């Protein structure tokens, strides 16, 4: 397989300043004619051959300056066209078959409409083109199609002309004045309705906004539209970024590989990140809509106006844009809760990646299939890296850095190095050592040991770091780490101010004076660096911080560490009684604490996920961890029964609204049920059933059903059937119905998944449905790590069956099996065996091949 390397980058020999595209649309057959103006790139080595990427295409017509092209050839699926001069006009026609495009890359059909997905390399499935992000062109798109089948015709930019023809067809022409790479091209044609609104930018531009959905879905678009307007305003206020077209369209599509796509002026979304109303979407779904709408909108500057030179620079747009969407969501809701949620995602998704066979730096050095690099590392760790720059610079200086970046590179295809340099110059930082965060993979392990000298009142912190070896990077250099700490006085419960330690070496010490008594160390406050921190805190210290830390993340973290200690210890030597009692007391205090809101309380009551514990226990027995976790839940549910039922009762009186108090009430309700269910099944089942039946919103209904679905009670089947019947015509809710059953902590969960795979609502063609069933099962350690190895077999079967249909989505299941090194030897061998079985398949996509080969190493 061909490996592409970052250091092999060469600028393109030919540029394409303009492209005109004409589409004759049809679900079965779409004809595309493109006219490219091409000219030699003065900044590249001269090459008289124009290299055009293609994927599954044939050139039905090929002209150069109006005459049939001569001497052209195919090299694999790419087209090589010799050109005599410096500038030419090249015309190419291709024929596409959208109805059979199950990969959902390029032009495809979804529910009778036509839409595109081009990032990263989908445009080459539409037209022969230098399909690389450093070739920027002005696009004019003319499309025509049947008025009845495709009443709405959309593309990038603004509509510049339209008309009707006698034969029942109509046409529209869209022009995008902003030069863009081919991955940002988009087209949508279909029977759609819009929620419309408007936004006036800070410079006075009046922008028409529309959210396009299938008829019948328009009532569920209000939140998406509000999120869009909030994003536009927020980006002006916080980053000084203004929108730059007269039109901004969003289209929701039900068959989509990812969450959404930031095509210039025409964002295309997975329906799950657009459609939301209280009856069908949970509070978490509302947040996801807001976050993804914001994310795609923010790409208009961080991604579109400044794009990537090559795909190794992906984190340039993705890491930065994730940081921007995180900051936006924090400003729209609770900053403290948002930070905890983001760290939880990082630990559950990115830490395992960073310590496994697929580990890569946020700026990878090589790839075989770029689709495999849309990872938690590039996205979420990428965001953490830029967040550290912001922490070091402070918000004002950081803004100066981002202003300089946008100003310097507007209209360009830039690199991560360009971003770092702009931050150095604009924010006044020295980032020479910091660049290691772009080069080295692996989560640094940082150990902080504290000593206190009673005589001098001095406290010494000895900080040691070690970056673990990762594939291709056996030896690492020490990283620069901004570590926020505070030293608490045990008596008063206060500290003398937060400090940021700038760690730069493998080992160094920091000394502070004025401590008559040994203080309590609070470290990595706010999760100031994406590291694994080890301290020698006693249980008493952690209990103290869980109760008194003024940094809400640190408070959460102290509780999580207590949980983690207990759960990891319990698998070897059973429960530690004093520690369990301390945890129960701390949890009780969390329930009683009137100074924190319910949103935060719900967060603090959550036990760490098994998939995070597996990381720490490696090699882990996942079922033993699960059992320890259930035992701790049962213990806490029993010890805190009175307080948890009172909490559930109190929260149940709060009326539905989207404000924080009401959302918080719903969050603690479900958390209380989860703990109570482990202690008293029958009584909790009654409570959950009552919550389900009384629910006037999806959060309560889904929360109750998820708890019920883990219990062996007669009402379980009845409620699941009720849920299905009630929402039979709502695909997104039926996804939830699949997911709730696949996430159940029950011994028959794998039987259920097998039955569900044969259900009439199941289809391999819809990625949301496949993920609802199988991604949920793979993430349910109780199911996936079943001692029989059946969960592993089912995922391998899925990968083999899905690969010919949709390789990109199939490849996303491989990393679950690739975590075999973290698991105890008997299961690890079975996981490997399934990887080998996939690897032995006669034909595999590049996507799956790369992931499987690397995972076996």
Instruction: Provide the binding-site residues for Zn ion, judged by CB under 5 A.
Output: 318, 321
How many residues are there in the chain? 857
* CA dist list (Å): 762 to 14, 257, 275, 767: 47, 17, 21, 11
Q: Are 119 and 256 in contact (CB under 8 A)?
A: no
Distance CA 675, CA 665 (A): 16
Residue selected from 93, 235, 255, 262 as contacting ligand B3K according to rule CB under 6 A: 262
Query: ∠ CA(690), CA(692), CA(693), 5° rounding?
Result: 65
Counting beta carbons within 10 angstroms of the beta carbon of residue 25, is it exposed (0 to 12), middle (13 to 18) or buried (19 or more)?
buried
Binding partner of residue 119 among ligand B3K, Zn ion, none, CB cut-off 5 to 8 Å per kind:
ligand B3K
Distance CA 268, CA 346 (A): 26
- Which span (81-89, 291-299, 574-582, 835-843) binds ligand B3K, by CB under 6 A? 291-299
Give the shortest CB-314-to-Zn ion separation in angstroms.
9
Which residue's beta carbon is nearest to the bound ligand B3K? 119
Give the shortest CB-318-to-Zn ion separation in angstroms.
5
Q: Cis bond leading into 120, ω under 30°?
A: yes
The whole-angstrom distance between residue 755's C-alpha and the CA centroid of its chain comes to 29
Give the shortest CB-106-to-ligand B3K separation in angstroms.
12
Distance CA 523, CA 543 (A): 15
318 or 384: CB nearest Zn ion: 318
- Which span (238-246, 255-263, 767-775, 833-841) binds ligand B3K, by CB under 6 A? 255-263
- Which span (294-302, 554-562, 648-656, 708-716) binds ligand B3K, by CB under 6 A? 294-302
Phi, psi of 764 (to 5 degrees): -80, -10
Pairing type for strands 307-308 and 413-414 reads parallel
302 or 443: CB nearest Zn ion: 302
Give the shortest CB-328-to-ligand B3K separation in angstroms.
14
The site for ligand B3K, by CB under 6 A, has a size of: 12
364 or 637: CB nearest ligand B3K: 364
Pairing type for strands 106-110 and 260-261 reads unpaired
Q: Which residues contact 727 (CB under 8 A, 6 or more apart)?
A: 280, 733, 734, 737
Beta bridge pairs of residue 155: 187
CA atoms within 13 A on the CB side of 482: 21
315 or 834: CB nearest ligand B3K: 315
Q: Which residues contact 525 (CB under 8 A, 6 or more apart)?
A: 484, 485, 486, 498, 549, 551, 553, 554
* Residues in contact with ligand B3K, shown as a per-residue x/- string from 303 to 342 under the rule CB under 6 A: ---------------x------------------------
In the annotation, is 296 catalytic? yes
CA atoms within 13 A on the CB side of 440: 19
Give the shortest CB-176-to-ligand B3K separation in angstroms.
17
State which of positions 102-141 bind ligand B3K (CB under 6 A).
Answer: 119-120
338 or 669: CB nearest Zn ion: 338
137 or 321: CB nearest Zn ion: 321
Residue selected from 134, 244, 283, 296 as contacting ligand B3K according to rule CB under 6 A: 296
Q: Does 250 bind ligand B3K (CB under 6 A)?
A: no
372 or 855: CB nearest Zn ion: 372
Q: Does 374 bind ligand B3K (CB under 6 A)?
A: yes
Give the shortest CB-767-to-ligand B3K separation in angstroms.
11
Binding partner of residue 640 among Zn ion, ligand B3K, none, CB cut-off 5 to 8 Å per kind:
none
Hey, is 122 helix, strand or coil?
coil
- Which span (38-46, 153-161, 256-264, 397-405) binds ligand B3K, by CB under 6 A? 256-264
Of 93, 119, 290, 296, the active-site residue reads 296
Give the shortest CB-131-to-ligand B3K separation in angstroms.
13
Q: Are 687 and 618 in contact (CB under 8 A)?
A: no
Which residues are catalytically annotated? 296
In the complex, which residues of this chain contact ligand B3K (CB under 6 A)?
119-120, 258, 260-262, 295-296, 299, 318, 371, 374
């Amino acid at each position: 397989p061909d490996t592409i390397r970052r250091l092999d980058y060469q600028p393109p020999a030919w540029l394409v300043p303009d492209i005109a595209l004409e589409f004759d649309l049809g679900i079965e057959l779409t004809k595309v004619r493109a006219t490219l103006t091409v000219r030699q790139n003065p900044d590249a080595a001269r090459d008289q051959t124009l290299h055009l990427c293609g994927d599954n295409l044939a050139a039905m017509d090929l002209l150069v300056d109006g005459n049939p092209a001569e001497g052209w050839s195919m090299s694999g699926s790419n087209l090589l066209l010799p050109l005599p001069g410096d500038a030419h006009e090249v015309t190419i026609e291709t024929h596409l078959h959208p109805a059979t495009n199950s990969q959902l890359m390029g032009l495809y059909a979804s529910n009778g409409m036509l839409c595109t997905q081009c990032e990263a390399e989908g445009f080459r499935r539409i037209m022969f083109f230098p399909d690389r992000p450093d070739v920027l062109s002005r696009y004019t798109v003319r499309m025509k199609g049947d008025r009845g089948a495709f009443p709405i015709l959309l593309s990038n930019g603004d509509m510049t002309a339209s008309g009707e023809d006698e034969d029942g067809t109509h046409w529209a022409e869209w022009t995008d004045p902003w030069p863009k790479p081919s991955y940002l091209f988009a087209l949508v044609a279909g029977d759609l309705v819009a929620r419309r609104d408007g936004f006036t930018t800070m410079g006075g531009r009046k922008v028409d906004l529309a959210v396009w959905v299938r008829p019948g879905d328009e009532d569920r678009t209000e939140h998406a539209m509000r999120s869009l307007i909030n994003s536009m305003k927020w980006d002006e206020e916080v980053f000084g970024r203004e929108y730059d077209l007269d039109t901004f369209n969003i289209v929701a599509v039900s068959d989509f590989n990812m969450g959404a796509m930031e095509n210039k002026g025409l964002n295309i979304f997975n329906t799950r990140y657009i459609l939301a109303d209280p009856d069908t979407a949970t509070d978490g779904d509302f947040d996801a809509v807001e976050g993804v709408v914001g994310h795609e909108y923010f790409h208009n500057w961080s991604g579109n106006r400044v794009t990537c030179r090559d795909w190794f620079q992906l984190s340039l747009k993705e890491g930065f844009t994730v940081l921007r969407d995180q900051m936006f969501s924090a400003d729209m809701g609770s900053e403290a809760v948002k930070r905890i949620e983001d760290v939880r995602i990082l630990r559950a998704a990115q830490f395992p990646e960073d310590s496994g066979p697929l580990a890569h730096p946020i700026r990878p050095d090589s790839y075989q299939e770029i689709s495999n690099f849309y990872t938690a590392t590039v996205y979420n760790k990428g965001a953490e890296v830029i967040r550290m720059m912001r922490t070091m610079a402070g918000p004002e200086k950081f803004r100066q850095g981002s202003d300089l970046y946008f100003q310097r590179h507007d209209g360009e295809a830039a690199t991560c190095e360009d971003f770092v340099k702009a931050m150095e110059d604009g924010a006044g930082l020295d980032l020479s050592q910091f660049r290691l965060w772009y080069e080295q993979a692996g989560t640094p392990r940082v150990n902080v040991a504290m000593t206190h000298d009673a005589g001098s009142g001095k406290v010494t912190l000895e900080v040691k770091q070690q970056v673990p070896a990762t594939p291709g990077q056996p030896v690492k250099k020490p990283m620069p780490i901004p570590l926020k700490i505070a030293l608490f006085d045990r008596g008063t419960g206060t500290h003398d101010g937060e400090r940021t330690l700038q760690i730069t070496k493998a080992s160094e010490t920091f000394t502070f004076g004025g401590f008559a008594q040994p203080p309590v160390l609070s470290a990595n406050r706010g999760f100031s660096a994406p590291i694994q921190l080890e301290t020698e805190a006693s249980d008493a210290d952690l209990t103290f911080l869980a109760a008194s830390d003024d940094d809400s993340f640190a408070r959460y973290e102290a509780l999580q560490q207590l949980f983690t200690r207990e759960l990891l210890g319990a698998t070897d030597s059973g429960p530690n009684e004093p520690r369990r009692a301390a945890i129960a007391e701390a949890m009780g205090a969390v329930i009683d604490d009137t100074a924190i809101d319910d949103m935060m309380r719900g967060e603090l009551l959550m036990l760490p996920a098994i998939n995070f514990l597996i990381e720490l226990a490696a090699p882990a027995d996942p079922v033993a961890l699960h059992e320890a976790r259930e035992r701790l839940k049962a213990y806490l549910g029993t010890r805190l029964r009175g307080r948890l039922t009172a909490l559930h009762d109190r929260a149940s009186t709060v009326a539905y609204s989207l404000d924080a108090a009401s959302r918080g009430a719903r969050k603690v309700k479900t958390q209380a049920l989860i703990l109570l269910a482990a202690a008293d099944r029958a009584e909790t089942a009654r409570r959950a059933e009552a919550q389900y039946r009384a629910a006037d919103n999806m959060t309560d209904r889904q929360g109750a059903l998820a708890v019920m679905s883990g219990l062996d009670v007669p009402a379980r089947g009845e409620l699941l059937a009720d849920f299905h019947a009630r929402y039979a015509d709502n695909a997104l809710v039926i996804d939830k119905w699949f997911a709730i059953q696949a996430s159940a902590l029950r011994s028959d969960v794998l039987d259920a998944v097998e039955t569900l795979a044969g259900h009439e609502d199941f289809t391999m063609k819809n990625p949301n449905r496949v993920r609802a069933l199988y991604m949920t099962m793979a993430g349910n350690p109780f199911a996936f790590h079943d001692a029989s190895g059946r969960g592993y077999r089912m995922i391998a079967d899925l990968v083999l069956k899905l690969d010919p249909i949709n390789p990109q989505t199939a490849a996303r299941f491989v990393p679950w099996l690739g975590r075999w090194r973290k698991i105890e030897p008997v299961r690890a061998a079975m996981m490997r065996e399934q990887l080998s079985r996939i690897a032995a398949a006669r034909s595999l996509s590049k996507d799956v091949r790369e992931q499987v080969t690397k995972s076996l190493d």
